[in-house]
Structure 1
Amino acid sequence: MNAVPRVSIVLLNWNGGDRVVECFRAVRAQDYPEIEFILVDNDSADGSVEKCLAAGKPDKLIRLPENRGFAAGMNAGIAEATGDWVMPLGNDVYLSPDYVSTVVARGEADPEIGVVGGKEYAWADGERTNLPRPSAGALFVSRELRGRWVPTSGDAYAFGVSGSMPLMRRAMLDDMRAVHGYCYDERFGTGYEDLDLWFRMQHRGWKALYCPAATAWHVGSASADGASGFLDKPPDYQQRLFRNRHLIWMKDISPGMRRRLWLRWHLFELLLPAYLLLRAPSALGPWWRGRCDARRQAAAFRSEGETTSRQALVPESVMLGFVR
């Protein structure tokens, strides 16, 4: 390992327009001395890659022949990364100049930390505001397998951190590849792929640290045209999230956890279509199609769930401690 740990930042772009150029410049403006900058493009057609290259040169440029989504795009960049730490970065995230140096210092203080993440503020209408986003906090999990963000003014160990700008330890990612064969599960596409990674990471005993001293600004849901609310997202996005939530249940929830969470999970599932009928009838189609998609993949994901349980290094009581 270098005297100063090397950080590989993987900026994933898909039709990021002028916004990704600002993200690109924010990466180049980091005060951390040892950064490898990798730009991955998911076959953009808006000229945004050329705009980035006009602003400077990344260390590596990966042009994918088609839009492969977040998980596959990030995996392509991570495969080329050489850093001791790797930061997957969305094209709608602007890092403060000391973001990398702050999270690296926290991560290096404890070798059991697998990921560190900072606080998100809203990047709205082109303005970087002082308004915390809903995801500004330490991530825990509800009994219905939804993210639950807990605000805190100081560092806090948690289930996970924001998937928009996490700093991941290379050893943790290597562990995920050794057990599962991949970092991000590309079958998730975009949505819940980070939650799946946090589950697998926690099962193996790696820690997640939320560090509010590291700040960034995030538009949110750039791949869904910036729609912030779930019911405002396009139907295909909704369908994928409905599906992926079920895949998490099959793959990442151990038998003991399933017994403890069974009642709330199934009660939520029972009430969800009634809620959608009243609140957003147009979402009933994506909900049903997502459930059908999950059923078609059930055998493979349940088989992987058995592998996950066998390879787990922490007791189920520790995992249940992240349920709030």
Structure 2
Amino acid sequence: MNDMTPITTTLKDWETDQEVRWCPGCGDYAILKAVQRTLPQLGADPAKTVFVSGIGCSSRFPYYIESYGFHTIHGRAPAFATGIKLASPELDVWLVTGDGDGLSIGGNHLMHVLRRNVNMQIMLFNNEIYGLTKGQASPTSREGTRSPSTPYGSVDHPARPAAFALGSGARFVGRGFDVSKNLPDVLKAAHAHQGAAFVEIFQNCIVYNKDVFDAFAAPKGAEDRQLWLQDGEPMLFAGGTQGIALDREALRLKVVDVADGDWQSAGVIVHDVKNRSVAHMLVEMPFGPFPMALGVLYDDPRPTFEAAVAEERAKASAGKEANLAKLLATGQTWTVSGTAQDPI
């Protein structure tokens, strides 16, 4: 949880006077509204909230949130956000990035903000394409994706953002998609987490990668292919008729049928947000044979980077006088005397 006193706001308090400009039908509109509706429920204070972004379609976000905001350099938003949090740890920092901004030029910076565990919410909008620069294949584009940069189909094996986050040492990993009614719940859980909270949000690019997520994220008809995870609840989907179990011999997950609601007999796993090993399995599940795992996949807090830095500073300065003149005069010093005419 971020250190701030809750205040009462409404959706209107978080809307700016800027014209929201994305392509008509872009999933970013839905994500923007989800965030703007969630912030009042968190008791967030616009005067103590900062949105930081890099470069890309998603990175227009700070213009549309009535708070402090920084539209920074391609891939370097995590460095700016870390600096903000170290300078003013009481601020509530949200980092907005895309699959291109965060996982290509920004992959190094994203890795370090996660492993350091800087207390902020990180939203990575994944549309599996470069939208702002006219539809080139991105690090998350699927094999075979045809684009201006891959006219014969991409041969790259795509990066998996949630797997990347876990591999970088993230202590919170969540997933949602742009038009999901459950997205605010994932954002609330990320905000409640003490540390770097990573949320991958599947986002429809209406122009260059239209409906690529429809198999599990279509507004109607895809519910049976969504596995919404709840801590302490069995991993059920398809209206409770199927579930996820552990093949103990092969040490991998499998889909099982559930008869008459008896998920225990079917061997369905109960979700434990602190089980890192199962979280890795969930993010690696191939969609098709398996449903898409959504919600909070992993949540196991540990001390934050800025808290450790503050403690280190306090120890280093304990019992010492803050006197710059005295510091400058310490050690090897000498005085030059004489007039301007005297030889030196």
Give your verdict on TM over 0.5: no
Higher relative contact order, chain-length normalized (CA < 8 Å, sep 6+)? 1
Of the two, which has the highest radius of gyration?
A: 2
Higher helix share: 1
Task: Give the structure-2-normalised TM-score.
Answer: 0.30
